[in-house]
A and B are shown apart, each in its own frame.
Chain A
Amino acid sequence: MSTPYAKLPAWADYGLIPLINLLVAFAVAGLVVLLVGENPLRAAVILVEGAFGSGQGLAYTLYYATNFIFTGLAVAVAFHCGLFNIGGEGQAYIAGLGIAIVALSFDSILPWWLTFPLAILASALMGALWALIPAYLQAKRGSHIVITTIMFNFIAASVMVYMLVNVLKPAGSMAPQTRQFLEGGQLPKLGWLLAEFGLKVRPSAPLNISFLLALVMAFLVWVLIWRTKLGYKIRTFGFSSKAARYAGISETRIIIVTMLISGALAGMMALNPIMGDQHNVPLDFVGGAGFVGIAVALMGRSHPAGIVPAAILFGMLYQGGAELAFEMPNISRDMIVIIQGLVILFAGALENMFRPTIQGIFASFSPRSVGISATKGERA
């Protein structure tokens, strides 16, 4: 992919530009807050305080962030291969089925530390499986993966409704969800960890051990993408599929393997709400986290070191947004959806909007820093 834009110093490329994009996104969101007749600054204060002001709030923030780390990593891995996996939502939803099978069969026999690895495997497997078909169709048949993964989101929703209503729902129950998991299907909470730091966390706070799993996965993704042969192939393919083919990298294999990894990461997201918090498989437990992953991956520049803070930021928005809805009756949690959209717009689709201006500023200070000779194709 040739870029029509000249190079900037790395810190501007990875720090300054995303920051400016983010600020613009939040400024526009602030306008929406103004439009509904509230004070955006006060809203921001309530938001941040709600998310980080108390141990309880922080536990919720990190709980939501866990979901977004998984889905963000899933999107990022696919991005590196030049693929857009928009199907994280469906992959995570279907993964719930795998977890249900493991938890419902073993929760009375095994302790949690044995069910947990099984559930990780099951969720990753189901997520990967749901990504396999679109991947295969892209690799072998050239069907556009964006469209097929969107379709698979809807198909997953239908499958899960059917399974929950007709198969997994215990007899005599009205709610379309599985039975409550026993001890062996529940993950230990991490509230005590925050309590160690002197924060007050109620035992009900949903932060659980899958947060640590998410961090491990973030590290593993970094190792995979930047420190292994497979990762090198993935990046090569994403950078130029022609060059990859010339280098003898199998197109089919790399697309399928990447999507399997991506699907598996998205699938693991299901562990957090199901085994960590709800202790059953309810309808619609993914709740848009698959899509938030897109915003997180874009904001984090598809690098785990960027994805984790971006996920925490979105965790903050989710948790703080709940507090905000409480304080300002005109603002509901749907405000987050707008912010999410604006972040995707400004950090993703319009990421190059401010680049020419910033390049101009850099060039006027030190022409060499932007490699002025390379800006021939530049049109501001």
Chain B
Amino acid sequence: MEFIDALINILNSTIRVSVPLLLACLAGLYSERAGVFDIGLEGKMLAGAFAGAAAAAVFASAWIGLLVAVLVSIGMALVHGFASITHRGNQIVSGVAINFIAAGSTIILGQAWFQQGGRTPSLPPEARFGAINLPGADALRDVPVIGQLYSGLLSGHSLLTYVAFLAVPFTWWVLFRTRFGLRLRAVGENPAAVDTAGISVAWLRYRAVICTGILTGLAGSYMALAQNAGFVKDMTAGRGYIALAALIFAKWKPVPAMFACLLFGFLDALSIRLQGSPLPVIGKVPVQLMQALPYVLTVILLAGFIGKAIPPRAGGVPYVKER
């Protein structure tokens, strides 16, 4: 029984830490599948988290926070789109710029508006997304294994967690079963063909970038309004990059993306839980090794030792008609 409890505990925290990764990863999926590389997931997530926390604190409403977070993230995504689609700038440079602008301005504005050293005020429960108890969770709590899994693992998460996991099949459906998705993938592989068919490459890519903005906004909201009660400076702490790694790890596919995020989330949860305590068989593992593992795994994958990750062919290349 104790083992089950421990297992549920760690899986539960895996889900908690995976959600922002998953949302950011799916966000990157839309953009990169359309041929716009996005290093700026981190920045958009951070800006979303700050905007969401600030708006939720001022209006005391989680929903207004969510809305503002999404709007701000879309705004940042449009800057990226403006630079890399309209002006054919370097997409990586633009993404790096967005990360810096977000990192600096969230601290400066946070300090100027709330005077709490870059944090936003602590949010009351009604300005956050609280836990949702699935029907029958309390009744089933004492049923061994199945009941425990249901009430301990599936139930009791915030709305955004369920949204994140529902976004996975939804993204799959959009990308692989709709006309928009077909075109979106086509524009990431061969924009000239899409252009020849009379479809605007720029408008398609802009829509993809807006999808990215919405999802990074959700990721930021989750961090500031569900996982924590407010914004702390630099609260994304590299998660945007891990999401990027997960996206590559999943070879730009939605369902594998979910598993990659859960894997990286599991490593994170494990490293928090194991802090200092020795593992059976392997002995004591340094925390730093666990923290570096997602990055090491991604590099190994990129090197082609665990299958080959092939990015969308037109990724990173601005589209010029005359070519």
Contacts and interface: CB of A to CB of B under 8 A. Distances in A.
A4 B96 contact: no
B320 A4 contact: yes
Interface in A300-327: none
Contacts, number: 160
Contacts of B82: 350
Q: How large is the interface on A (under 10, 10 to 19, 20 to 34, 35 or more residues)?
A: 35 or more
Interface in A6-34: 32
A101 interface: no
Contacts of B31: none
Interface string B288-315: 1101100110110011100001010000
Contact of A154 (B79, B93, B292): B292
A335 interface: yes
Given A154-B238, A158-B292, A349-B97, A341 B87 contact: no
27 contacts: A35-B112, A36-B108, A84-B90, A84-B92, A133-B299, A143-B304, A144-B302, A147-B244, A148-B302, A150-B241, A151-B299, A154-B291, A155-B296, A158-B291, A330-B111, A332-B107, A334-B103, A334-B108, A336-B104, A338-B105, A340-B104, A348-B89, A349-B91, A349-B93, A349-B94, A349-B97, A351-B89
Contacts of A142: 304
A113 interface: no
B289 A151 contact: no
A371 B309 CA distance: 44
A352 interface: yes
A330 B115 CA distance: 8
Counting chain B residues whose Cβ lies within 8 A of the other chain, the interface size class is 35 or more
Secondary structure dominating the interface of A: helix
B288 A32 contact: no
A29 to B, nearest CB: 9
**Chain B at the A interface: SS class:** helix
A151 B298 contact: yes
A294 B96 contact: yes
Contacts of B304: 141-143
Interface in B206-252: 238, 241, 244-245, 248
Interface in A329-380: 330-332, 334-342, 344-345, 348-353, 377
Contacts of B238: 154
